[in-house]
Amino acid sequence: MTNRITIAAAEVRVGDHIYNGPNSSNHPTHAWETITQVNSADGLIVLITGSLDAPHGEFWFEPDEAVVVIRYPPPPELPTEPHHKPHHKYGHGH
């Protein structure tokens, strides 16, 4: 499940998705782009989609300006307990 939320630009995270206007595709979710970098410049928040080495999108906001993003819930954490090996070994005559 995804959450479409409105937050201050200063709270946007890498991995959030921002709407990049109408798209030529019939599928409306293709207009949402993944934020790959969050920077600060001249007192503004700069949200970047795509790679800086290739064509990318930039969105400039005041730090407290409202931004609508889609944020996926974090993946479930995996157990941190080590995997225990059995104490017996196969093929040794037991």
The predicted structure's pLDDT at residue 78: 77
pTM of the model: 0.68
CATH code reported for the domain at 3-71:
2.30.30.30
The three-class DSSP label of residue 29 is helix
Nearest-angstrom CA–CA distance, 94 and 88: 9
The string of pLDDT tens digits covering residues 50-93 is 877 777 789 999 999 999 999 988 778 877 766 666 666 666 55
Tens-place pLDDT, residues 69-80: 999 887 788 777
Rounded-to-integer distance, Cα 59 and Cα 50, Å: 12
